[in-house]
Amino acid sequence: MGKAEPESVGPSKKRKTCYAQKTPRRKSPTLGLNPHAPIGQSQETPQQIAAKRERAAMKVPIYMRLYMMRGALIFAPEKSIIRETFEKCIPTWIERKPRVQAHWSATLQTLEGHSDWVSSVAFSPDGKQVVSGSHDQTVRLWDTATGTALWTLNGHSCSINSVAFSPDGKQVVSTSRDHTVELWDVTTGAALQTLKGHSGWVKSVAFSPDSKQVVSGEE
């Protein structure tokens, strides 16, 4: 076989030149991208980022998710509904199970801070604070939502016997074995007054309904 030779162009033949018409380049749609994001940062909106993370989580095989949930059952209280319902789903290869309580605890907060017995406690009228008195000679104010200690009120020289909130929630009163009654400002934690006159341990105290007077009793 011979080689194919290019067609010769004679005087009677003209070479045709074809020009491809250029199609205008289409701009890709933004699909909700954030046009105001600085260069170098993600152009995705928070909704798109959240959706992407959700899709990534869903890629975890369902059997793996169920497997992890089954393993967590051993930490549920033994008499809880979820434990009794799915007891048979606990993996059999778990030989040594942790010791857990029988029922879910009803405890909301454990307020720690006193170094001795707590002798008296009272709620504020709105239920948002708690005042406690202790044998460590201090009065403490607590936030009931977070369990945070708001104030440590120092002023008594002996154990605290009784504490109370004023009806308007602005003051706290405390009594002590040091024969005194102390009035405290709830907002600042400052000592307002020291009421003296008792010759023995002051065992009980209460505010009047208008928060303007205090009554106390000694042993």
Q: Taking the model in full, what pTM does it have? A: 0.56
Measured CA to CA, the distance from residue 204 to residue 130 in angstroms comes to 18
Helices and strands (DSSP H and E) totals, the chain: 3, 10
* Rg of the chain (C-alpha set): 39
Both structure tokens of 97: 């199970």
∠ CA 55-57-58 to the nearest 5 degrees?
65
Judged on CB neighbours under 10 Å (0-12, 13-18, 19+), 112 is exposed
Both structure tokens of 63: 């059997």
Both structure tokens of 46: 């928070």
Q: Can you give the pLDDT of all 219 residues of the chain as single tens digits?
A: 444 444 444 444 455 544 445 555 554 444 444 555 555 555 667 677 777 777 776 776 665 666 667 778 888 888 888 888 888 888 788 788 888 888 887 788 889 999 999 999 999 999 999 999 999 999 999 999 889 999 999 999 999 999 999 999 999 999 999 999 999 999 999 999 999 999 999 999 999 999 999 999 998
